[in-house]
Structure 1
């Protein structure tokens, strides 16, 4: 298995330059995010942390996936390894959209496999990007099997939602852009599903001495479970963010990246994810997926208290939030916005 390197991310940065939208950063209001509690004996003044939002949901196709898809296709084109049959993928989510978009950008055929019961809005979006959509079976596994058969029969290049070094390296280009805009960045916070974004961002961050906080829903924790077990394991998936973070198993690349210095794993509840997503709408009129709000939830989730203690402490078990230190510079990646916003608008009250 190819382990991701910083060289892979540098190559991807050069390869996709000018082909994707540079990320926009927005500062969080000073004092909106609380800093960690200090030792009472530490009399140094506490400086507020500096928090930025990386608005990657404004990327082509509405998510960071456009970076990896563009890198994947361009790298194969540069190597003369792009077949006449084009590319194929089984995904009705952000990866499928990104693959179809990147293929159209490159003038390449894209064949996307979905279960027959896939939402019509996704099918229409994919066709809007010029993809040929094939509806197979009633479950993702059946669509995936058909995709693999198609690739074997036609020679089409099979892409993957997250478990490929070119896909992860493309995602890692995001960190390169962020650190150029935030000199002295200390920490980057990312949501984790299959682990492509995390693997890319953590690999780049580790090279620059930047901490990575990997955030997962508590009942959708493929990476956290793999870290605990020391190997890849299957997990049950049950979260409001499962549509984008619902991988049953993380990638070997992601687990390798998680073992590097400066990586912290955090689990958040669905309730905190919903609250973070609503807060982005209430305070900024920003609409993101539950998966994107998962990253912010790590900073807004409350401290846990142990009975009989005045100060919050860390109970045994998984970390439930991330508290920046005094003066810490943090960037939270809001990675996608392919969501239904109707549950965010405040309901009118009866008079």
Structure 2
């Protein structure tokens, strides 16, 4: 990916971009850890009653990406973003800036610290003190502005224009998405026979990278969103980017009002199935990870698993293309299918988990 392609207005990501990112961040991020799900724990789909083949159990794996630096996959994109600019000589002395009090802000601050450059992170004044402290722990210059994200974003843009600092983005940038896509490359190295990858979708950076790499390898992508945070699902349905209402227990990490053009392009090009899950299913999946494995993940990470554990439902009143499965409320692996569920983040309050 050359400097003139580093534009957030780019509508497509290529597999070559992801391979370049993998080379760029090799040895600079933690390799993903994989864990198998107990045989029989996930139900398979229904078969044609006339199909007399012997049913084979599905094989399901968990990608424990929440063990990544800063507690989420965001470290991959942030590191790729800064490494690429440093290699190209386009990393300014004034450093990097971003408006985000969540995982993207933490990843940006960490990557900047690793590079020895300044990170200026803008947050609303209402940001939790624990996040502010964690950002400062990574050496970030934290600026608290306004009461809403939009105000912090405007201040970040003004700061970048005034100082020449490099503006980063939480998800809508090709270098960020390409870095996220390196996760699928690592998963394939450990599961060569992978059929399907299941991933939660917020703004679409992780989905774009994963789906682009998956399409190259002939792997199906299941894109999972809360039913009331359905930016990608709504874009697939409309065939264009649209704004959606955000109201979910997972909105802190998956609450984008609009997905990226790159994400919509990836959904339209590959074998992508869109699934919507309820908040109840998300909470139940998150609790199950704690009860059975003592894994404390964000609601956003549990959203991916909820697609496989949710009760079978059908969304009424929609007539959508079956290729995208946009009306689906769950995903049932087929007989003998090998599936990987990405658990993407763990920046959560473990006290909200009941003891099981």
Say if 2:120 is the partner of 1:137: no
Q: Which residue of 1 aligns with 2:189?
A: 180
Question: Aligned to 1:259, what secondary structure does the other structure show?
Answer: helix
> Is the 2:287–2:354 Cα contact (8 Å) retained in structure 1?
no
5+ unaligned residues in a row in structure 2: which ranges? 1-8, 316-324
CA distance in 1, matches of 2:203, 2:107: 16
State the match for 1:103 in structure 2.
112
Distance 2:124 2:314 in 1: 45
Q: Distance in 2 between matches of 1:304 and 1:155?
A: 51
1:287 corresponding residue in structure 2: 296
Q: Is 2:74 the partner of 1:65? A: yes
1:302-323 residue CA offsets vs partner (Å, 9 max, x unmatched): 12389xxxxxxxxx97100000
| Counterpart position of 2:4 | none
Structure 1 portions without partners, runs of 5+: 307-315
1:313 aligns to what?
none
User: Which residue in the other structure is 2:123 paired with?
Assistant: 114
Over residues 47-94 of structure 1, what are the superposed CA-to-partner deviations in whole Å (9 max), with x where a residue is unaligned? 000000000000000000000000000000000000000000000000
TM-score with structure 1 setting the length: 0.95
Q: Report the more deviating stretch, 254-263 or 53-62.
A: 254-263
Counting matched residue pairs gives 338
Give the CA deviation at 1:125: 0.2
Structure 1 residue corresponding to 2:86, chosen from 77, 86, 111: 77
SS of 1:264 mapped into structure 2: strand
Please state if 1:334 is matched with 2:343: yes
Q: Which residue of 2 aligns with 1:124?
A: 133
1:167 aligned residue:
176
Q: CA RMSD in A?
A: 1.2
User: Match of 1:237, SS?
Assistant: coil
2-structure distance, mates of 1:92, 1:279: 28
Q: Deviations over 1:233-283 (max 9, x none)?
A: 000000000000000000000000000231000000000000000000000
Cα distance in 2 for partners of 1:182, 1:305 equals: 31
- For residues 158 and 317 of structure 1, what CA distance do their matches in structure 2 show? 34
CA distance in 2, matches of 1:346, 1:256: 42
Give, in angstroms, the shift of residue 346 of structure 1. 2.0
SS in 1 for 2:340: strand
Give 2:249's match in structure 1, choosing from 240, 245, 256: 240
- Of 227-236 and 337-346, more deviation after overlay is shown by 337-346
Other structure's SS at 2:269 match: coil
Q: Which residue of 223, 231, 234 corresponds with 2:232?
A: 223
Q: Report runs of 4+ in structure 1 exceeding 2 Å deviation.
A: none
Q: What is the match of residue 320 of structure 2?
A: none
What does 1:244-263 align with in structure 2 at a 5 Å threshold?
244-263=253-272
Write the distance in 1 (CA, Å) between the matches of 2:312 and 2:225.
Answer: 17
Q: Structure 1's 335 and 180: CA in aligned 2 closer, same or farther, altered over 3 A?
A: same
Change (3 A) 1:317 1:244: closer
Deviations 1:112-166 (A, max 9, x none): 0011111100000000000000011111111100000000000000000000000
Aligned residue in 1 for 2:274: 265
Matches of 1:317 and 1:136 in 2, distance apart? 38
CA-CA distance at 1:298 after TM superposition = 0.2
